[in-house]
Amino acid sequence: MPEKVNAPVSVSMSYDSKTRKVFPKSVIWDNRLYAVTKVGLHHKYREGRSLYHVFSVTTPTLFFRLVLDTETLHWRLEEIADAV
Amino acid sequence: MQSELPFNPAPSTVVHIDINSCFATIEQQARPYLRGKPLAVAAYDTPNGVILAPSIEAKRYGIKTGMRVREGRERFPGLIVRTPDALMYRYVHHRFREILGEYTPEVFPKSIDEFVLYVRGTVDIRATAREIKERIRRDVGEWIWTSAGIGPTRFTAKVAAGMKKPDGLTEINHKNFLAQYGRLELLDLHGINLHLQRRLWRAGITTPLAMYRASLQTLKVAFNSVVAHYWYSRLRGWEVDDVEFARRSYGNSYSLPRPLGAPEELTPVLAKLVNKMAFRMRKAGYQAAGVYLSLSYKNGAYFNRQRTLPEALFDTRDIYKAAVKILKMSPYNAPVKKLAVGCFNLRKASGLQLELFEPTGKKFRAMEAFDRANDRWGDFVITTGTMLETEDYVPDRIAFGSPLVA
């Protein structure tokens, strides 16, 4: 069952200049490190003056919905779920 | 009797792209753990919530758009239900527009999940359509299944797109139309509903092939209107559907999560609907000289009234005042479960008629600034005061016009 979270989260990001793709590599949540194995979807939206990037990612055990606020460059975890 | 007008021998130039089970497919793309499972995107996840999009897997259990969540779970108890993520769906729609725009400048979105493309001058339109499908799966997501239909007209392309789902690529052209029509039923023809099917049956036409072979005179008897001519040409691959009809009205409706009775509860919801509607209308360059309101009550009563106005309105506040006047005309004093508001008698906003006592130009500029701010920074960044306390009502529903992304 997915669970709404809405908490700050640590995220390592990677940028590949050849494919020009940006993707989260790992997430530290609840003092545990999770390696991202797949980005399901990356989408964007605006709220007020802020542009948000949403990464829906999976790790071997959990699904995370991560949101990057491009105004502050802070990450927020919005939702978790079992990855399978 | 074989007709005199032959099937259009011109090569196919129209591609119709349809995202299969759109909202559910996008959810499965974003959340891989939902893939392969019966899933429904519903307006609400409560038993009475209406299913907006069942996944391909849910459809296999007979779960259909328009069913209640309760009915869906009767068919498959483990049905997963999610509420819509309008921003995510809208973003995917705009990614589609960007990608399709690289293949042709003539891209016409027909809804959030359907696009019509004119691909002219290509050597192999099937190869182009195949490439578009592959490109979508590569650049938007590998779980985004689309069906493509190809034909010499919008109608043939649309019908072809519906022939194989998911992940279809079908063409109807002058070489294969008899075989393709032979695989269809009357209701598979876009535009034929149960009512028209009954009319055709009465004229002895029971299949698309029989409809194609029918004389114009027989079709005239069946339809008893000018549409007989349209169907006669349409089935022969001649274009009669490329007309972009002028917009006649704008409207918004909303099913309340719980019935509301008191005017002070209803008017903020009405204000939000009017805000959304007026914004869309002004953005398209219109003003309106008519407003309508419909209310469905919990006790089954229904109220619907429209007012023609002496002058065309463009200001959200004026349209709202007109709608509230209609609201006060309702004879029922009962909880409302659904309300709809709209405006009609549309006129192009150029050439504003200056009123004697109202500073119309100033108002117009204020609304322009209001709309620019909302367009740039997101819906309802600036709203009318009447919308206060509507936060819990009228969530963002699916529309596909505004990108909301810089």
Give the tens place of pLDDT for each residue, B298-337.
888 878 788 888 888 888 989 999 999 998 888 888 888 8
User: Assign residue A48 a region: left if phi > 0, alpha if psi is -120 to 50, beta otherwise?
Assistant: left
Cross-chain residue pair A84–B30, CB shorter than 8 Å: no
In this prediction, the residues of chain B whose per-residue pLDDT falls under 50 are: 1-3, 354, 356, 402-404, 406
User: Shortest Cα distance from B156 to chain A (angstroms)?
Assistant: 33
Contact B330, B303 (CB under 8 A): yes
Mutation for testing the A interface, residue in B25, B27, B33, B142 having most A CBs under 10 Å: B33
Task: Classify residue B354 by its DSSP letter.
Answer: P
Task: Give me the total of CB pairs closer than 8 Å, taking one residue from chain A and one from chain B.
Answer: 53
Q: Which residues from chain B sit within 8 angstroms of residue A46, using beta carbons?
A: 377-378, 404-406
The helix (run of H) or strand (run of E) holding residue B31 is none
Contact check, Cβ <8 Å, A44/B88: no
Note the pTM of the prediction, 2 decimals.
0.73
Chain A nearest-CA distance from B403, in A, is: 8
Q: Which amino acid is at B354?
A: L
pLDDT at B187: 95
N-terminal to C-terminal alpha carbon distance within chain B: 58
Best CA proximity match to B153, nearest among B243, B212, B241, B245? B241
Domains detected in chain B: 9-171 (3.30.70.270), 176-244 (1.10.150), 251-389 (3.30.1490.100)
Q: Which residue of B has its CA nearest to A51?
A: B405
For chain B, say whether A38 makes contact (Cβ under 8 Å). yes
| A48 touches B at CB < 8 Å | yes
Active site residues of B: 114
Residues of B in contact with A41 (CB under 8 A): 26, 29-30, 88, 92, 141
Q: Across-strand partners of B194?
A: none
DSSP assignments along B66-91, one per residue: T-BHHHHHHH-TT-EEE---HHHHHH
Query: What's chain A's Rg over C-alpha atoms?
Result: 12
Min Cα separation A27/chain B (Å) = 17
Beta bridge pairs of residue A23: A14
Contacts of B30 in chain A (CB under 8 A): 40-41, 43, 56, 65
Q: Name the burial class of residue B12, with classes exposed (0-12), middle (13-18) and buried (19+) by CB atoms within 10 angstroms of its CB.
A: buried
ipTM over 0.90: yes
- Residue segments in chain A with a per-residue pLDDT below the cut of 50: none
| Pairing mode of beta strands A3-8, A21-29 | unpaired
Closest-CA residue of chain B to A1: B80
CA–CA min distance A32, chain B (Å): 21
pLDDT of residue B2: 47
pLDDT computed for residue B395 by the predictor: 59
Burial of residue B281 (number of CB atoms within 10 Å: 0-12, 13-18, 19+): buried
Contacts of B91 in chain A (CB under 8 A): 43-45
As given in the structure block, the two tokens for residue B174 are: 């002058």
